[in-house]
């Protein structure tokens, strides 16, 4: 917990000299590091296995929690009127970015934070990975896919195989290849990359 401030600094109006600068001041630790680690793991499971699955990012550890709050008017709950929210962070083992999105009374969609706000948070976190050059963490949980979701798997390595061998290994993907040789010299995306089933894999053939 840090001491809250409204003013960043006090400046002399004529010279621009900073008279007083307010720095972050730690008040106390609210929870222990062990408790924090345990909660982060629980929230990572929410994204991998539970209601926050729409915020899952392949090869990255994302934690988060959904929120679905029915609004009140004149002391009574309103019908079909909700504030839908999601808070997400990554990497779950060593957070660098945290994002909170709340959507007030969205129309024409299922009224759950996991279906409305979680995909928005995912998009922001995905951009943050590129903007901040966040490296892929080790470990993490594999997403448990539902029947209606598009599944991702890590591409196996087919470099060094013949074209026929590579086609068998990559039977769940669409294959494109160039070159006049008989052996796969390179592949794109590279092996180990998480790719949606049925997507395109390009092979370069050589001798």
Clarify whether residues 113 and 169 are in a common domain: no
In a domain, 43, yes or no: yes
Short-list 99, 160, 161, 152, CA closest to 126: 99
Clarify whether residues 81 and 127 are in a common domain: yes
Clarify whether residues 119 and 177 are in a common domain: no
Bond prior to 174 in cis (omega within 30° of 0): no
What's the pLDDT score for residue 203?
A: 92
Segments in the chain forming alpha helices (H): 33-49, 113-132, 163-169
What's the pLDDT score for residue 40?
A: 94
Model confidence pLDDT, tens digit, residues 101-124: 999 988 877 777 888 999 999 999
Clarify whether residues 88 and 176 are in a common domain: no
Task: Tally the domains of the chain.
Answer: 2
- Which whole-number Å values give the CA distances from 111 to 55, 105, 114, 134, 175, in the listed order? 16, 8, 9, 32, 39
Q: Which one of 77, 101, 132 terminates a domain?
A: 132
Short-list 206, 205, 200, 204, CA closest to 175: 200
Confidence of residue 66 (pLDDT cuts 50, 70, 90): very high
What's the pLDDT score for residue 141?
A: 79
Bond prior to 118 in cis (omega within 30° of 0): no
Clarify whether residues 74 and 120 are in a common domain: yes
In a domain, 19, yes or no: no
Can you tell me the mean pLDDT for 158-167?
Answer: 90
Clarify whether residues 104 and 168 are in a common domain: no
Clarify whether residues 63 and 119 are in a common domain: yes
In a domain, 42, yes or no: yes
What's the pLDDT score for residue 83?
A: 93
Clarify whether residues 85 and 156 are in a common domain: no
Model confidence pLDDT, tens digit, residues 33-45: 999 999 999 999 9
- Domain of 171, in residue numbers: 152-206
Clarify whether residues 38 and 123 are in a common domain: yes
Q: Which one of 100, 132, 164 terminates a domain?
A: 132
What's the pLDDT score for residue 109?
A: 75
Residue 8: which residues within 8 A CB-CB, separation 6 or more?
A: 21, 22
What's the pLDDT score for residue 146?
A: 64
CATH number of the domain where residue 201 is located: 3.30.10.20
What's the pLDDT score for residue 131?
A: 93
Report percent pLDDT > 90 for the chain.
56
CATH number of the domain where residue 91 is located: 3.40.710.10
CB-CB contact of 51 with 66 (8 Å): yes
Looking at per-residue pLDDT, the higher value among 194 and 75 belongs to 75
pLDDT at 51 over 80: yes
Q: Which one of 132, 167, 197 terminates a domain?
A: 132
Clarify whether residues 78 and 162 are in a common domain: no
Clarify whether residues 59 and 113 are in a common domain: yes
Lowest mean pLDDT among 12-21, 104-113, 159-168, 177-186: 104-113
Confidence (pTM): 0.64
pLDDT at 97 over 90: yes
Clarify whether residues 112 and 54 are in a common domain: yes
What's the pLDDT score for residue 147?
A: 58
What's the pLDDT score for residue 96?
A: 94
């Amino acid at each position: 917990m840090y001491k809250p401030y409204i003013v960043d600094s006090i400046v002399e109006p004529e010279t621009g000299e900073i008279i007083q600068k307010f720095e972050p001041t730690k008040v106390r630790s609210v929870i222990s590091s062990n408790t924090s680690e345990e909660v982060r793991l629980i929230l990572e499971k929410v994204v991998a296995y539970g209601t926050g699955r729409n915020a899952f990012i392949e090869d990255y550890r994302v934690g988060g929690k959904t929120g679905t709050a029915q609004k009140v008017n004149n002391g009574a709950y309103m019908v079909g009127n909700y504030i839908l929210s999601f808070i997400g962070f990554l990497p779950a083992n060593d957070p660098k970015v945290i994002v909170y999105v709340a959507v007030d009374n969205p129309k024409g969609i299922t009224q759950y934070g996991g279906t409305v706000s979680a995909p928005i948070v995912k998009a922001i976190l995905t951009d943050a990975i590129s903007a901040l050059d966040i490296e892929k963490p080790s470990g993490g949980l594999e997403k448990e896919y539902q029947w209606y979701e598009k599944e991702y798997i890590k591409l196996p390595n087919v470099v060094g195989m013949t074209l026929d061998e590579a086609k068998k290994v990559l039977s769940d993907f669409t294959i494109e290849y160039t070159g006049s040789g008989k052996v796969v010299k390179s592949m794109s995306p590279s092996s180990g990359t998480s790719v949606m089933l049925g997507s395109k894999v390009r092979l370069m053939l050589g001798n």
